[in-house]
Structure 1
Amino acid sequence: MGNFIVAVDPQGQLAYSGLSIEKKGRPAAHVIEALTEQVAPEYLSYLQNQGVSYLFAGEKRLNCTLLLEKLHRLFGINKLMLAGGGIVNGSFLAENLVDELSLVIAPVADGGNGVSSFTQVDFLPSWPPTAFYLKEVQTVVPNVLWVRYTRP
């Protein structure tokens, strides 16, 4: 099994300097672009020149179920961690594809504007409130908790 980063980029706008991304302390991860069919042919040529893998998962809007099916079939990916913003996470939740919620709670107050982990927007199907149930609580370092919830 490889190490991958799946970039959700429905309209084909992200830029790369190669076919993988390296994060400090982690092995290089091969990039897979998740696109819709509205992407310009020039962008596909760009990805091919960079060696970046890509797949189509929807015509005008990302179909997350199709994306997961293709990631499994083409790359052997069985488990995916969502680390997107509220719209990407909300897209997966709207298709009932989120089975675990993981939160790190640290006693820090910054006074900034709140950011939603799951955002409902007009161009996505809406979903009702989704219940999660406590699975595990761990103290990671003093005063910091890792709380995991799962779907029933």
Structure 2
Amino acid sequence: MTRPYIFCHMFTSLDGKILGPYMDTPESDKSGDLFYEIAFGKNRHYDHQGWLSGRTTTDDNFTHYKEPVLETDFPEVPAGDFVAEHDLSMYYISIDASGRLGWESNLLTYRETKAHVIEVLSEKVGDDYKHFLRQLNISYIIAGKDSIDPVLAVKKLQELFDMKMIMLGGGGVLNWSFIQAGMCDELSVVMTPVADGSSDLPSLFETKEGLTEAKPVTFSLESSSTYKDGTLWLRYLVNN
């Protein structure tokens, strides 16, 4: 199968957390700026066409746990995927197997970056939610029966949206599911010189019962960069 090149680009603490009190420090602000510049800045390192995150990451950062406004009386929804018309060159792809995200627009803004929203749904999502997305002109693809099939999702993203490179951006369960499915080529980690010792917050990779397992995966170091403020940027190739 030919598919887009997929790199996982994440911002972490020294103890591998992707969320936590460490993010409220000046040191993390500086490291966060580097994280953005690498993937989204004017001279970005990666020339990707979209970035992909899980439902919780989307709710935490963009939709803020709003409920979708669903109608009970709506016209018949055509079967299959929906590719909306838009004029943006960047996509934000959200995994939303159950159709729960309460979008208010098909345009997402992350700092200076504007992106068209794509939802990745499972077959169990009802037509009321699909109609909701169509009313907002939000694209969606269906990839999997009850849960999301990473291989099928990536295949459709390439075929329907001409994506040649995709950034994988968390959370930890999503990252690990793509790693285990062989759908990740590179790991890019920007590590801030801060730790907070949190034991109940998500980390870079996490298993989920019934979805993934704690089976070791090895990585080959591609490059490492150090910065005066103590930030590290580590790049690994995934040994699939």
Q: Same fold (TM over 0.5)?
A: yes
- Give me the identity figure in percent: 34
Residues 25-104 of structure 1 mapped to structure 2, 5 A cutoff: 25-26=112-113, 28-104=114-190
Secondary structure class of the residue paired with 1:65: helix
**TM-score, reference length from structure 1:** 0.92
Work out the CA distance in 1 between the residues paired with 2:238 and 2:179. Answer: 11
Q: 1:109 to 1:116 in 2, by over 3 A?
A: closer
Partner residue of 1:117 out of 195, 198, 204: 204
Runs of 4+ in 1 over 4 A off after TM superposition: none
Measured after TM superposition, the shift of residue 104 of structure 1 is: 1.4
Q: In structure 1, what residue type is equivalent to 2:233?
A: W
User: Which runs of no fewer than 5 residues in structure 1 stay unpaired?
Assistant: none
Measured on the aligned residues, the alpha-carbon RMSD in Å equals 1.5
Aligned residue for 1:144?
231
Measured after TM superposition, the shift of residue 80 of structure 1 is: 1.3
Q: In structure 1, what residue type is equivalent to 2:127?
A: P
Measured after TM superposition, the shift of residue 126 of structure 1 is: 2.8
Measured after TM superposition, the shift of residue 90 of structure 1 is: 1.7
Work out the CA distance in 2 between the residues paired with 1:141 and 1:147. Answer: 15
Aligned residue for 1:11?
98
Give per-residue Cα distances to partners, 1:25-61, cap 9 Å, x unaligned: 22x1000000000001110010000110000000111
Q: Are the equivalent residues in 1 in contact too, given 2:108–2:116 (CA < 8 A)? A: yes
Give per-residue Cα distances to partners, 1:49-99, cap 9 Å, x unaligned: 011000000011110000000000000112111112111112211211121
Partner residue of 2:111 out of 24, 28, 35: 24
Q: Which moved more, 1:119-128 or 1:83-92?
A: 119-128
Q: Are the equivalent residues in 1 in contact too, given 2:176–2:212 (CA < 8 A)? A: no
Secondary structure class of the residue paired with 1:117: coil
Work out the CA distance in 1 between the residues paired with 2:212 and 2:195. Answer: 33
Give per-residue Cα distances to partners, 1:95-121, cap 9 Å, x unaligned: 111211111122112232252222221
User: Which runs of no fewer than 5 residues in structure 2 stay unpaired?
Assistant: 1-48, 50-88
Q: In structure 1, what residue type is equivalent to 2:182?
A: N
Work out the CA distance in 2 between the residues paired with 1:54 and 1:87. Answer: 21
Q: Are the equivalent residues in 1 in contact too, given 2:96–2:121 (CA < 8 A)? A: yes
**TM-score, reference length from structure 2:** 0.59
Aligned residue for 2:56?
none
